[in-house]
């Protein structure tokens, strides 16, 4: 757990240090002036530099660097990325408005005429187009809009970040603030570009050739839920731990163009591994129609919801819905004697319980606790309220807690655990929603 905090601190420190260096580069080349147009221009240059740097940070967070993903966790990286995206958009819009006002004052023109004049420069027109693409990404990432989009649509729009960065790059190099430091800016872009190509293109292809994964079986586990068993070679080389996820791309019609994250629902065993998927969208629903022999590209593993987070001898696992998949793998493999491991499984009704037979067999074999918490999420009784949790697990505050479920359930349960007295550092969760 301490190692994970160290990684997060180092990454945050590196990002803030980079921002500080950008400010220093700007400050070293500022020519003080009290003229209004110069003040606008100076502020525009600073916001532009920070926006360009922010785009680099966003791309770095998307690069799937294993040390960063493992050390921080995919859900936290997603939150950082979302928060950073909002700041970058504000900086881009601020840069554009400040530059526009500065140019209008300098030329003695109205704002519309100044805008037409600025867009006459090809590099500025390209940068404006890039800002428009970033705005589209921001709009489709808003929670209210995102819920109404298919994942494939959202993902396709989100990939426009790469094009936006490319469109803005020429404008950044042309800026006067970068005349001295163009080599630094180009080097930073080259480094992030290499990381993106290596971890998002080269590594997946190399893993595919090494492990030769193919679908072996697709079996129903419950309403709208299937398990996909895959066979391959040298699967120990994946170094995939229980609790982790990989990004899966199934090479068949309707599925090949999108890679989605699914957790392992059982530990890797010999030449076989398994995921369990609930059909929540068009892509995941098509997975149940996979045929044996379908080739699979798997990138990863990712995620930090592993045994490495454990700090106490007793562990409580809490799963909601299909969040049972990583919990099932941990339930089987976390070290512990009788009474050390307890699993709480929240579901709307008994027929929605997934992998029930396996869970009960594991509980009987290990002497572990297993409780099903059934009922509608909007019912009068909340089985995950602080009092209910302490009734089920009297020594709750002595446990490490692993939590995985839908975002709303996970947030409410985390809050309940904290109110029940569990230290925040002992609540370990990862929650994924596009």
Judge if 72 and 125 occupy the same domain: yes
Q: What pLDDT digit, counting tens, does each position of 280-316 carry?
A: 665 667 787 889 999 998 888 888 788 888 888 999 9
Q: What is the pLDDT of residues 260-270, one digit of tens each?
A: 888 899 999 88
Report how many helices (DSSP H) and strands (DSSP E) the chain contains, helices first. Answer: 16, 11
Residue 150, pLDDT > 80, answer no
**Token pair recorded at residue 223:** 């309403």
Query: Is the domain of 187 the same as that of 226?
Result: no
**Same-domain status, 43 and 183:** yes
212 conformational bin, left if phi > 0, alpha if psi -120 to 50, beta if neither: left
d(CA 390, CA 419): 11
297/333 same-domain check: no
More confident residue, 192 or 29: 192
* Highest-confidence segment of 221-230, 244-253, 329-338: 329-338
Has residue 2 got a pLDDT over 60? no
The pLDDT, as a whole number, for residue 358 is 92
Q: Name residues whose C-beta falls within 8 Å of residue 82's C-beta, 6 or more positions apart in sequence.
A: 141
161 shares its domain with 27: yes
Contact between 8 and 39 under an 8 Å Cβ cutoff? The reply is no
Rounded distance between C-alpha atoms, residue 176 and residue 363, angstroms: 67
- Quick check: 155 pLDDT over 80? no
Least confident range from 5-14, 150-159, 353-362: namely: 150-159
Q: Which of 127-131, 387-391, 425-429 has the lowest mean pLDDT?
A: 127-131
Which of 302, 323, 346 is the last residue before a domain boundary?
302
Burial environment of residue 195 by CB neighbours within 10 A (0 to 12, 13 to 18, 19 or more): middle
Sign of the Cα torsion 264, 266, 269, 271 reads negative
Q: Which two tokens stand for residue 201?
A: 């293109």
Residue 126 has pLDDT above 70, yes or no: yes
Identify the pLDDT of residue 279: 66
Q: What is the pTM of this model?
A: 0.73
CATH of residue 249's domain is 2.40.30.10
**Mean per-residue pLDDT, 55-83:** 80
Task: Determine phi and psi for 179, rounding to 5 degrees.
Answer: -60, -40
In a domain, 434, yes or no: no
3-state secondary structure of 28: helix
- The verdict on residue 369 lying in a domain is yes
Does position 402 have pLDDT exceeding 60, yes or no?
yes
Among 18-32, 270-284, 303-317, 358-372, whose mean pLDDT is lowest?
Answer: 270-284
The answer to whether position 159 is within a domain reads yes
pLDDT category, 225, cuts 50, 70, 90? confident
Among candidate residues 154, 186, 204, the one where a domain is terminated: 204
Residue 434 confidence class, pLDDT cut points 50, 70, 90? very low
Q: Is residue 85 part of a domain?
A: yes
Query: Strand 213-222 vs strand 295-302: parallel, antiparallel, or unpaired?
Result: antiparallel
131 & 10 share domain: yes
Give residues with Cβ within 8 angstroms of 343, minimum separation 6.
316, 317, 318, 319, 327, 331, 359, 363, 368, 369, 370, 371
C-alpha distance across the termini of the chain, in Å: 26
- Residue-wise DSSP of 82-130: HHHHHHHHHHHHHHHHHHHHHHHHHHT--HHHHHHHHTTSHHHHHHHHH
Pair (351, 411) in one structural domain: yes
Residue 179 lies in a domain: yes
Q: Which range, 63-72, 249-258, 380-389, has the best average confidence (pLDDT)?
A: 380-389
Question: Is there a single domain that holds both residue 111 and residue 244?
Answer: no
Q: From residue 285, how far is each of 53, 247, 278, 282, 396 by CA, in Å?
A: 39, 16, 7, 5, 37
pLDDT of amino acid 281: 61
Q: Tell whether 158 is covered by a domain.
A: yes
Q: Find out whether 390 and 364 touch, Cβ atoms under 8 Å.
A: no
Question: Are residues 314 and 283 located together in one domain of the fold?
Answer: no
Residues 234 and 334 in one domain: no
* Mean pLDDT across 380-385: 84
What is the C-alpha separation between 40 and 89, in angstroms, rounded?
Answer: 19
* 140 touches 129 (CB < 8 A): no
| pLDDT-above-90 percentage for the chain | 15
> Torsions phi, psi of 37, nearest 5?
-65, -35
Give Cβ neighbours of residue 387 (< 8 Å, ≥ 6 apart): none
d(CA 368, CA 360): 9
Per-residue model confidence (pLDDT) at position 175: 54
Residue 419 CA to residue 382 CA, distance in Å, equals 14
Give the CATH number for residue 367. Answer: 3.40.50.80
The confidence score (pLDDT) of residue 180 equals 54
Query: Which of 355, 226, 352, 221 is closest to 285 using CA atoms?
Result: 226
Task: Evaluate if residue 400 carries a pLDDT over 80.
Answer: yes
Q: pLDDT class for 222, splitting at 50, 70, 90? A: confident
Best mean pLDDT range from 5-14, 66-75, 131-140, 405-414? 405-414
Percent of the chain with pLDDT over 70: 92
Q: Would residue 264 count as lying in a domain?
A: yes
What is the count of structural domains for the chain? 3
pLDDT at 200: 84
100, 237: one domain: no
| DSSP 8-state symbol, 394 | T
Proportion of the chain in helix, strand, coil states, percent, rounded to 5: 60, 15, 25
- Tens-digit pLDDT profile for residues 306-321: 888 888 899 999 998 8
Both 320 and 410 in a single domain? yes
* Last residue of one domain, picked from the residues 204, 237, 261: 204
Phi, psi dihedral angles at 294 (to 5 degrees): -60, 130
In a domain, 144, yes or no: yes
Q: Which domain holds residue 377?
A: 307-429
Element (H, E) at 356: helix 356-366
Task: Please state at what angle helix 74-107 crosses helix 111-118, rounded to 10 degrees.
Answer: 110
């Amino acid at each position: 757990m301490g190692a994970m905090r160290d990684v997060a601190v180092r990454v945050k420190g590196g990002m803030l240090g980079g921002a500080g260096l950008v400010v220093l580069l700007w400050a070293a080349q500022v020519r003080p002036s009290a003229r209004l147009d110069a003040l606008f221009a100076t502020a525009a240059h600073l916001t532009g530099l920070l926006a360009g740097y922010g785009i680099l940070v966003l791309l770095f967070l998307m690069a799937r660097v294993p040390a960063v993903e493992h050390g921080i966790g995919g859900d936290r990286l997603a939150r950082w990325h979302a928060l950073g995206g909002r700041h970058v958009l504000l900086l881009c819009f601020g840069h554009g408005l400040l530059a526009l006002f500065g140019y209008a004052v300098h030329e003695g023109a109205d704002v519309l005429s100044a805008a037409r004049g600025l867009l006459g420069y090809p590099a500025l027109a390209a940068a404006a187009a890039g800002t428009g693409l970033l705005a589209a990404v921001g709009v489709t990432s808003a929670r209210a809009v995102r819920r109404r989009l298919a994942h494939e649509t959202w993902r396709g729009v989100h990939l426009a970040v790469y094009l936006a960065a490319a469109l803005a790059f020429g404008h950044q190099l042309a800026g006067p603030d970068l005349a001295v430091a163009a080599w630094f800016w180009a080097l930073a872009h080259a480094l992030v570009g290499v990381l993106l190509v290596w971890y998002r293109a080269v590594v997946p292809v190399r893993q595919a050739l090494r492990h030769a994964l193919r679908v072996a079986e697709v079996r129903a586990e419950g309403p709208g839920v299937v398990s996909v068993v895959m066979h391959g070679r040298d699967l120990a080389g994946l170094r995939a731990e229980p609790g982790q996820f990989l990004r899966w791309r199934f090479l068949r019609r309707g599925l090949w163009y999108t890679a989605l994250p699914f957790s392992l629902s059982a530990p890797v065993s010999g030449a076989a591994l398994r995921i369990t998927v609930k059909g929540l969208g068009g892509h995941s629903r098509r997975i149940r129609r996979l045929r044996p022999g379908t080739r699979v590209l798997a990138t990863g593993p990712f995620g930090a919801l592993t045994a490495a987070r454990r700090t106490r001898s007793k562990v409580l696992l809490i799963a909601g819905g299909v969040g049972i998949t990583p919990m099932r793998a941990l339930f089987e493999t976390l070290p512990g004697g009788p009474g050390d491991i307890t699993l709480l499984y929240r579901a709307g009704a008994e027929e929605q319980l997934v992998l029930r037979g396996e869970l009960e067999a594991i509980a009987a074999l290990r002497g572990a606790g297993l409780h099903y918490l059934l009922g509608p999420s909007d019912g009068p009784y909340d089985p995950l309220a602080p009092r209910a949790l302490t009734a089920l697990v009297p020594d709750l505050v002595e446990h490490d807690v692993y939590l995985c479920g839908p975002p709303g359930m996970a947030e409410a349960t985390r809050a309940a655990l904290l109110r029940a007295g569990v230290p925040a550092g002992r609540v370990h969760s990862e929650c994924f929603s596009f």
